[in-house]
Amino acid sequence: MGSSKAADAGLQEWTAGRTGSATTYGEGFTSLHVLEGGVDAWRAAGKPLVSIERRPWSMERQVRTTAGSLMLLTLALGYFVSRYFLLGTAFVGAGLVFAGVSDTCMMASLLA
């Protein structure tokens, strides 16, 4: 890590006054700022701030996450509780196949 980082780094104190300054200097950052008062005070002082844009999840991502979670849940319940829960796994799998073939997703309409 011999190269110097071009951008400044800001550190916000989160726990008991500790920051990552020693570690960060070891990573090649040469200009650090402790954000006294946090990000809100930094922004209010007119200092430069780069933030990550938060966007809501797309419907496709929501469906994939929900379907995968339901598959894992019903599979675990089928293994540990009762084999009848495996019908839930089959139901979700069949729904995914139907959604792929017909381009219609019942889970998306339930989540919307």
* Interatomic CA distance for residues 10 and 39, integer angstroms: 9
Query: Residue 72: is its pLDDT beyond 60?
Result: yes
Q: Where are the domains positioned within the chain?
A: 1-54, 59-111
In degrees and rounded to multiples of 5, residue 62 shows phi and psi of: -65, -45
Closest CA relative to residue 4, chosen from 23, 30, 26 = 30
Tell me the range of 44-48, 78-82, 105-109 where mean pLDDT is highest. Answer: 78-82
pLDDT tier for residue 68 given thresholds of 50, 70 and 90: very high
pLDDT of residue 87: 97
Q: What is the pLDDT of residues 16-65, one digit of tens each?
A: 444 444 455 556 666 666 777 888 888 888 888 777 788 898 998 999 99
Question: What was the pLDDT predicted at 110?
Answer: 87
**Percent of the chain beyond pLDDT 90?**
39
Q: What is the mean pLDDT of residues 69-78?
A: 96
Q: How many Cβ atoms are within 10 Å of 37's Cβ, its own excluded?
A: 13
User: Do 89 and 74 form a contact (C-beta atoms < 8 A)?
Assistant: yes
- DSSP H helical segments within 21-85, as ranges? 21-26, 38-44, 59-80
The model carries a pTM of 0.53
CB 21 within 8 A of CB 11: yes
